[in-house]
Structure 1
């Protein structure tokens, strides 16, 4: 069986199931560059200590590498420094290497070292959504073309990500679609009692329309815009639930004041999230950027069978949200357009239910299985170099 090495920073709930499936098709070894300290970490976006409550290391071979950075983490280039990375990968003797992200010292070093020696595959989800035409971006384009000249094949997550790779020199034959995905089955399962319990705890009636925002309460995701829209609409039938923590938490709660239609829940771990999605009627991700490269919470909400409202700055909007079919897309940072789309979507719960059914159908092909199939087919293709 051929050997595939994967270089990535730390165990992530959206990647671990993929590695587990890949391990059944290849001789796989995952090299985690952040080090063992990444398993329990302080998340700056959520502004709290995070430890996932689903297994992230089951079913595949892995190695935590020593990270000698003085300030370990993924928040800066020098946060990932592994003197032993190259030798560890060489000892494994892989037939190809899949690298997740280049923007850390060790990952870039691996790209450069193994170029021309072993086929290099790449995975990232960057887009051009925030790009501006100026001199700084001209320099960035030159630099990124150099970066991606080290890549043999790139697995793109969706349309906007493919456009990004094309912009920086990768050819059509080098680009393979491997969809961004979540555990669709886990979010599809309905726990009716738990969803009723959530709404009851928040004093939200069965006829009310509950809008959900789930994620980091940070400026780029624009939860404040959604709160402002709901307050201005003053529709007694509309309820809004924020699930998460972050730097805007205090400001949002202050703005919400005594407004009884706005609710807050702290960060909820992965095992709790399916029931929370099931309890809502409409999921909204109003991001204004920069760098809302995809928005996997949208995948989760769609798997749970929910209508979707996102801004034009959300990376998955083009691929996953079909206006008038399973939701709507509003112009980023445009309060009036957001209010208009909310009004249209909230015409009836029946309309939202029908859109939710469409969401669940659309998301079926955006699966771990499809992602693994793309990687395995590329890996075992004798022409893939």
Structure 2
């Protein structure tokens, strides 16, 4: 059995179930090397602006070890947030056949790249960057040249979707070294809780004070500029929808601005950050989920919503838009930053409530093909490819 070392920043609620899946199917022997302990200990999240730890198991069912992080300000919000002097020696001690990196733009990862013998033990990379928001000028040119050089360290790259595939090709990665490993979540956890979540959502709707005969538009995530929650608030006010409420779930730097602009307006509600065990209920309360981000790498919130059979609206700068959103079939796509276009999309979605429900069922069918099994197939194909070289 081939041995794979996986190097990633910290335990993440989307990746941990995949690692568990990889360990259980028996096609690979894996060990995950974590560079930070966020998520399993209560710490402040920069985006949410509050301390928490995830309330689902992130370290069960697979082999892992933490690599000591000596950064005085640990985290993934800056380059020096991951400084792990023993990373290379710990990975070497595992004696893997290949190493998979889940990110690279941190001090520790660059040190590994520059000191690793890629001829003896090849490196793989799985990323989700895209160019849906293209940057021009001399800085963009220099950045392209630099990233192209970085990707030459990798024997193969795993792409999560169409926009990410184009990003890799733009930076010189041959299509022969690209393998599809789609972004996925624990679909089973969400789908098996759908019925219970629906009942919980009825009670929660009453607790929030939302009228039971109102449809609900949901924004769930960090209240930050990149995710553009204020665009959604303004679009909702423009759309003037009958019997529809808007619910913001989360926290972040824009919370005060959002609440200030919503003050005195009808049918706009707020709920605090919801931990992972409550996310099925969070989506179950919604009749439509909106992600208006300006530069979202993928948007796994959309995967989660679609598992609960929810129709979706996303901006064209959301990485999953080309893969998961089929306009007029399970949702709509609008131009990022265009509040009027988003308002028009909201009006179109609620012009036919029956079609909106059908969009939700289509969402469920689409997301059924974005699974850990599909992600694993791409990974194993890439490993077979690079070890035959």
Residue 268 of structure 1 corresponds to 274
CA distance in 2, matches of 1:383, 1:63: 25
Residue 190 of structure 1 corresponds to 195
Residue 11 of structure 1 corresponds to 11
Instruction: Give the conservation status (yes or no) of the 8 Å contact 1:111–1:151.
Output: no
Instruction: Give the conservation status (yes or no) of the 8 Å contact 1:33–1:67.
Output: yes
User: What is the SS of the residue equivalent to 1:215?
Assistant: strand
- Shift of the alpha carbon at 1:204? 3.0
- Shift of the alpha carbon at 1:5? 0.4
CA distance in 1, matches of 2:2, 2:40: 29
- Shift of the alpha carbon at 1:322? 0.5
Instruction: Give the conservation status (yes or no) of the 8 Å contact 1:122–1:153.
Output: yes
TM-superposition CA deviations, 1:14-42 (whole Å, max 9, x none): 10011111113222111111257963321
- Shift of the alpha carbon at 1:376? 2.5
CA distance in 2, matches of 1:113, 1:71: 24
CA distance in 2, matches of 1:162, 1:71: 33
Is the aligned partner of 1:141 residue 2:149?
no
CA distance in 2, matches of 1:37, 1:230: 33
TM-superposition CA deviations, 1:283-338 (whole Å, max 9, x none): 0001123xx10000011111110111011111111111011000100111111111
Instruction: Give the conservation status (yes or no) of the 8 Å contact 2:40–2:54.
Output: no
In the TM superposition, what are the counterparts of 1:163-242 in structure 2 within 5 Å?
Answer: 163-188=166-191, 189-191=194-196, 192-242=198-248
- Shift of the alpha carbon at 1:365? 0.7
Of 58, 77, 99 in structure 1, the residue corresponding to residue 79 of structure 2 is 77
Is the aligned partner of 1:358 residue 2:372?
no
TM-superposition CA deviations, 1:199-224 (whole Å, max 9, x none): 22233344322100000000111110
CA distance in 1, matches of 2:355, 2:203: 24
Is the aligned partner of 1:30 residue 2:35?
no
CA distance in 2, matches of 1:48, 1:229: 28
In the TM superposition, what are the counterparts of 1:314-333 in structure 2 within 5 Å?
Answer: 314-333=318-337
Residue 245 of structure 1 corresponds to 251
Is the aligned partner of 1:120 residue 2:136?
no
Of 100, 103, 108 in structure 1, the residue corresponding to residue 102 of structure 2 is 100
Give 5+ residue unaligned stretches, structure 1: none
CA distance in 2, matches of 1:348, 1:237: 13
Residue 158 of structure 2 corresponds to 155
Residue 371 of structure 1 corresponds to 375
- Shift of the alpha carbon at 1:339? 0.9
Coordinate RMSD, CA, aligned: 1.5
CA distance in 2, matches of 1:70, 1:38: 19
TM-score by length of 2: 0.95
CA distance in 2, matches of 1:210, 1:369: 33
CA distance in 1, matches of 2:299, 2:73: 27
Instruction: Give the conservation status (yes or no) of the 8 Å contact 1:378–1:384.
Output: no
How many residue pairs get aligned? The number is 383
TM-score by length of 1: 0.96
Give 5+ residue unaligned stretches, structure 2: none
